[in-house]
Amino acid sequence: MTIAPELSDQVVSELADAVGGQHVLTSKTARYNRARVPAPFPVHRWAERVPDLVVMPASTEEVAEVMRIANAHRIPVVPRDGGTGLTDGAVPERRGIIVDVKRMNDVKAIDTDNRTCTVGAGINMLKLNEVLAPYGLLYPDDPASYPCSLVGGRIGTSGWSLIGSRYGHSRDLVLSFSFVLPTGRVIRVGDGGGPKVSKSSTGYQLKHLFMGHQGTLGIATEATLKLIPKPEAELSPFWAFPDYDSAHQCVQKLAHAGVATFAGAVLFDEWKVDYLRRDDEAYIPQPADVRALVCAVAYGNADEVRAGGKRFMRIARDAGARYLGDEISQGDWAARHDRYATPLHGRTRAGQVVPMSWHCEDSAINWTDLPQVRLEWHRIADDLRRRFDMFDDWGIFAYTSAATGVDYLTEIDIGIWEQELDDESWTAWVQAKKDIAEVAVRHGGSISACHGACRDGEVDLVPVELGGAFDVMLDVKRAVDPNNIMNPGKYLLDRAYETEVE
Amino acid sequence: MTDVPPRQSPAPEEQAGGAADTGHNGGNGHSPVTVEFLSEWRNAAYNCYSSGHKFCREVCPVMQVTRNENHTPTAFHANVVAMEQGELTVEDVAEDYVNCTQCGACELRCPNTLFTGDFYRFRTRTVDLVKRMRALAVDNGVHQPGYQRWNELTDERSHEPVLGDTPVSQEHVRDWAGGLDIPIGGETVLFVDCEAAFYRTSLPRAVAQILRRAGYEFGLMTEQWCCGGPAAEMGYRDQARRFAEHNLADWRAAGVRRVLVLDPHDYITFTEDYPEFFGDDFDIEIVLVVELLAQLIAEGRLTPTVPIERTITYHDPCRLNKRKGVWQEPRQILGAIPGLTFHDVDRVTQWSYCSGAGAGLPIERPEIARKISENRMDEAAQLEVDTLVSACPWSERPLAEAGQDRAIDVVDIHELLAESLGIDVGGRTRA
Ligand SMILES: Cc1cc2nc3c(=O)[nH]c(=O)nc-3n(C[C@H](O)[C@H](O)[C@H](O)COP(=O)(O)OP(=O)(O)OC[C@H]3O[C@@H](n4cnc5c(N)ncnc54)[C@H](O)[C@@H]3O)c2cc1C
Ligand code: SF4
Ligand code: SF4
């Protein structure tokens, strides 16, 4: 197991030679501000997560040099990009070096003929799309963190996109990338050898392996991305239902309809509607008999979106929905999508308003299991809230992950009053996360559809979910990262080295 | 129906964990002013910290250049939490806060402002936090050398040292008005900021002559000092207040009721800092010249007729667009000038633009400020314009420098209007 040695002056000067002295940050603020991400956090234990220093390289070669130094000295390395990841991936567990790739944010090439672009890993999608706009092109990786997450982090997490049911998720949209292995060796991984290939059968398909590993296998530095023509039109009708079950039926009918412009559908459960009524000022008030909501989203050419929209309206009407009108439909989608904001405050049991941090669960659940998973999750949240008056149940969203309705990203949002957290409540919270993950796995789903699953609590269930595949993960980890320098402590991967510890 | 009527919701300071409950800070070795600061900012800091989502990052002009997470609103708030937890001290954090032009973009992009703002009347106040933290540093004896020197010189000369080694002084503050015969005093006076009074004298000359053309009466101050805003922005609050007191006394002595302001920075100082210093006693009407000119044009009291053959874009000064929501009037003025070809960029896109000149950034971090100016002019260059029009004298010097390499002139909107009114402005821009 790697424990960060005190970083010697020797190491610091080697790093300064590699990236330039001004890009080696050792100040306390540099280190403390890279010790957390937006996920709830035991504030009183901040100091445990602080790295030894931060480097901000500007090129693949500089990253490679940093890796060689770290590997030679057996120093932990944690890649960090936007720092918006919700599973603490970019937070060091064993101090070491944070490799912050945000300076690598240039657009290196735009290929309008093959519709690709090549960018540095530190670029943001919104910013990239500003550059692509004059070409009529769009990079459609569109998470709710669209204005703040960055391409390298999308690779590190294998992210999920709100309009992925039509355009694909990060794994489909990133064609290839340069990747620095823990030894400092640089490889290009993609669908095949050529950087702009979207389907290949040559050799092992390594692209998936080097996405979503939370920085435990290496660092992506530059990526070639698939582009689409900027959609002419978008439509996002919202419908209300008197009960959850009819909304649940309706959302799947929409997904099953085979509409080509279908980009996703969202189901809001009763708890979510209650919460929005209570505390979300972006939410447009609905009569009390509204218990659940569904939204469908269509993107594409204007005529096709219009035709698909008519079909959605018919399906929803037949399923007993009440259309909420254009204004609410457009406004609510814009709010949820362009600047995703849970209100970030909640209430104590007595109804007092308090600033709360947001836990966003993100399991993948099959449509058939949604009703039951929802009840079990709410029971867990309710139990927590009863015992500690610092948690709040903000309800569940379920979003289609694919056009066929096979599985849904299922998100229970839980508010946590961080100012009040102590060891006891934190321990209870970690247990609750484990219980939530257990429900997902028991129902044949996956703990995480988008963020990854390496936080305390849920991570314990990863070997259960993956079974024999987890053992192969350990073998891969050991083969790629012989000294366990990459983001050590994450995903129980220390187990890969246990025999060597003695 | 919501079952919680919005206006009955508690204000943030009434929330649980508010200022009264000083929670965990318990001193932590901080000085008394720091402890007081922490209890005042604790909840606001947690409001951001608990979100931590960084929607503010990419719009920030400094962050676009440095890409350093220390320079984000997220960090600016988190540092307060870390101080409260006893992990960081004011000495640890002070220097990071120089990396901000106080442009206000991050507040507009913050979902907590956009949504929570209406409901709880809570607004993310990063600009204010940066100002307060700089002041806290000074109060604790932690100085940034550039700021300290700048404010010493300003204190000595009662004006900012905008001409470098060439001293500025009280005797010369009205030199720009040479030959214009503007009276001293009166109900309405024109306040001219240090940059315009000493460096870009063509600007106040343009304003004065346009107003005269419209038959709008005004005078000059008996003894004008710097508005004090820059000192407040850099943390020298006592000095800022002394300057404010001087200027207010000057206005009072002359019976001034109304102050015309041509510089957006002064406009912020007079509409935000002065009311804070003087409370309800501050009853002077503050009029922004760009707004006044747009009104005079609309009323037909000014009619620009000389065609100006330029292809322009307009730079929304941060303090007008982002901090004060003033973006229509400059466009109305430009719309009234014949001959212009106008490639406009909407005000929301311009949230992420900045000249780099604000809040003392060029004093402590000239290289970052320069890069911000270059980024701004790169945006302009893409529009294939020959001229960038601004409405802020502080932006015009650095943007003009960056414009040189791109063959783009930087012109002040007041001067442009004067030209179209057929006024030969006189004065100069000192090189
Ligand atoms: C408000 C909000 C909404 C969100 N909505 C969504 C959503 O809709 N869909 C979704 O998928 N996620 C969502 N997220 C989570 C988060 O934005 C994503 O996980 C995102 O992909 C993280 O990107 P980042 O640039 O912030 O990465 P970081 O947080 O910096 O890093 C994430 C992980 O990737 C690793 N990593 C970072 N850079 C690299 C690199 N160059 N090479 C290899 N590994 C690297 C890190 O070590 C870490 O383990 C949301 C988060 C927030 C705050
Ligand atoms: S300032 Fe606003 S957008 Fe930025 S991290 Fe804080 S809460 Fe989020
Ligand atoms: S005020 Fe402007 S410069 Fe300062 S942090 Fe906000 S966006 Fe950045």
Is residue B23 over pLDDT 70?
A: no
Are the C-beta atoms of residues B320 and B290 closer than 8 Å to each other? yes
d(CA B257, CA A320): 65
B93–A29: do the CB atoms touch at under 8 Å?
yes
CB contact under 8 A, A281 and B119: yes
* pLDDT at B11 exceeding the cut of 80: no
User: Which uninterrupted H or E stretch holds B189?
Assistant: strand B188-191
Mean pLDDT of B90-95: 98
Flag whether pLDDT at B322 surpasses 70: yes
For residue B306, give the nearest of B423, B421, B211, B206 by alpha carbon: B421
Nearest beta carbon to residue B69 from set A33, A127, A356: A33
Reply yes or no on whether the pLDDT at B363 is more than 90: yes
Distance CA A318, CA A119 (A): 46
B-proximal residues of A, 127-166, CB under 8 Å: 127, 145, 147-148
| Overall average pLDDT of the A291-301 stretch | 96
Can you give the residue ranges of every domain in chain B? Answer: 11-142, 155-296
**What integer is the mean pLDDT of A96-100?**
98
Tokens of B261: 């302001």
Band of the pLDDT at B6, cuts 50, 70, 90? very low
**pLDDT of B24 over the 90 cut:** no
Q: Is the CB of B105 under 6 A from ligand 3?
A: yes
B420 lines ligand 2 (CB under 6 A): no
**CATH fold of the domain at B155-296:** Rossmann fold (3.40.50)
| ipTM field | 0.94
Residue A480 has pLDDT above 70, yes or no: yes
Alpha carbon distances (Å) from B349 to B328, B345, B402: 15, 7, 20
Residues of B in contact with A285 (CB under 8 A): 1-2
Least confident of A119-123, A423-427, B161-165, B389-393: B161-165
pLDDT > 80? residue B155: yes
What is the assigned CATH class of domain A233-340? alpha beta
Please check the confidence at residue A1 and state whether its pLDDT lies above 50.
Answer: no
Interface A-B, measured as beta-carbon pairs within 8 A, has a size of 149
The predicted pLDDT at position B427 comes to 78
More confident residue, A263 or B169: A263
Q: Residues near A176 by Cβ (< 8 Å), separated by ≥ 6?
A: A188, A189, A190, A191, A194, A195, A196, A197, A207, A223, A224
pLDDT at B266 over 80: yes
- Of residues A30, A344, A420, nearest to B112 (C-beta): A344
Cβ-Cβ contacts under 8 Å, A335 against chain B: 115
Helix and strand counts by DSSP (H, E) for chain B: 22, 7
In the prediction, which pLDDT does B375 show?
Answer: 97
CA distance B205 to B420: 15
Q: What is the pLDDT of residue A343?
A: 62
Q: Do B114 and A356 touch (CB under 8 A)?
A: no
Three-state DSSP class for B353?
Answer: coil
What pLDDT does B17 receive?
39
- Residue A496 pLDDT more than 80? yes
- Of A108 and A346, the structure prediction assigns the larger pLDDT to A108
Q: What is the CATH number of domain A345-461?
A: 3.30.300.330
User: Quick one: what percent of chain A has pLDDT higher than 90?
Assistant: 85
Q: Among A352-356, B313-317, B328-332, which is the least confidently predicted range?
A: A352-356
Q: Give the pLDDT of residue A337.
A: 66
Average pLDDT over residues A429-436: 97
Q: Which residues pair with A392 in a beta bridge?
A: A415
* Mean pLDDT for the stretch of residues A250-262: 98
Task: Verify whether the Cβ–Cβ distance A357 to B50 is below 8 Å.
Answer: yes
Place of tokens 């996920």: A39
Q: What pLDDT does A333 receive?
A: 77
Question: Per-residue pLDDT tens for A190-216?
Answer: 998 999 999 999 999 999 999 999 999
Instruction: Identify the band that residue A281 occupies on the pLDDT scale cut at 50, 70 and 90.
Output: low
Residue A355: predicted pLDDT = 81
pLDDT above 90: residue B3: no
Predicted model pTM: 0.94
Whether residue A2 has pLDDT greater than 50 = no
Residue of A nearest to B72 (CA): A33
Which residue, among B146, B113, B141, B144, has the nearest Cα to B128 in the 3D structure? Answer: B113
Q: Is the CB of B101 under 6 A from ligand 3?
A: yes
pLDDT at A502 over 50: no
Here the contacts of B134-139 (C-beta below 8 Å, separation 24 or greater) are B134/B94, B134/B97, B134/B98, B134/B233, B134/B234, B134/B235, B135/B232, B135/B235, B135/B236, B135/B237, B136/B33, B136/B34, B136/B37, B136/B90, B136/B235, B137/B90, B137/B94, B137/B97, B137/B235, B138/B235, B138/B236, B138/B237, B139/B33
Q: For ligand 2, say whether the CB of B112 is within 6 Å of any of its atoms.
A: yes
Counting ligands in written order, which one lies closest to the CA of residue B354?
3
**Inter-chain touch A339–B55, beta carbons under 8 Å:** yes
Find the farthest-apart pair of alpha carbons in chain B and give their distance in angstroms, rounded: 67
Judge if the beta carbon of residue A90 lies within 6 A of ligand 1.
Answer: yes
CATH 3.30.465.10 segments of chain A: 107-229
Band (pLDDT 50/70/90 cuts) for residue A346 is: confident
The answer on pLDDT for A263 being more than 80 is: yes
- For A:41-60, CB contacts with B below 8 A are 43-44, 46-47, 56
Are B70 and A25 an interchain contact pair (Cβ–Cβ within 8 Å)? Answer: yes
What would the mean pLDDT of B351-360 be, rounded to a whole number? 96
pLDDT at position B47: 86
Q: Are B117 and B123 in contact (CB under 8 A)?
A: yes
CATH 3.30.70.3450 domain span(s) along chain A: 233-340
Beta-sheet pairing, B341-342 with A174-180: unpaired
Where does A107-229 sit in CATH, by number? Answer: 3.30.465.10
Provide the pLDDT confidence category of residue B116 given band limits of 50, 70 and 90. Answer: low
The pLDDT of residue B14 is above 80 = no
Average pLDDT, integer, range A364-377: 98
The answer to whether B104 and B411 are in contact (CB under 8 A) is: no
What local confidence, expressed as pLDDT, does residue A435 receive?
98
CATH number attached to the domain at A9-100: 3.30.43.10
Cβ–ligand 3 contact at B73 (below 6 Å): yes
The answer on pLDDT for A500 being more than 80 is no
**Is pLDDT at B171 greater than 80 in this prediction?**
yes
Task: State chain A's mean pLDDT as an integer.
Answer: 94
pLDDT at B430: 52
Nearest-CA distance from B36 to chain A in Å?
Answer: 18
Residue B10 has pLDDT above 90, yes or no: no
